[in-house]
Amino acid sequence: MSNESASGEAPAVEVCHGPQCSDRGSRELSKELQALNIDCFAGDCRSQCPNAPLVLVDNKMIVNATTQMVQDRINSTRNT
């Protein structure tokens, strides 16, 4: 799966690697996304610890994020 949007530009995917998010699987989530050819980068804490792990796709938060939720958000950005 490519993460390019309809404009041909890949959405920015930021995965929080703060302590709480890391404890709740954000680093593994980053690896899973990269294995799906979804480029992502490690982000700083956004004070959303109760909602960890946190992912931002084009600066839109996904709380309690899963790989599927990130893929769905990327797909929805293509359709807008």
Q: Does domain 13-75 have CATH number 3.40.30.10?
A: yes
Any idea where the domains of the chain sit in the sequence?
A: 13-75
pTM here? 0.86
Per-residue pLDDT at 55: 98
- pLDDT tens-digit series, residues 3-61: 444 456 889 999 999 999 999 999 999 999 999 999 999 999 999 999 999 999 999 99
Per-residue pLDDT at 79: 79
Dihedral angle over CA of 8, 79, 75, 24, nearest 10:
110
Decide if 56 contacts 21 (C-beta within 8 A).
Answer: no
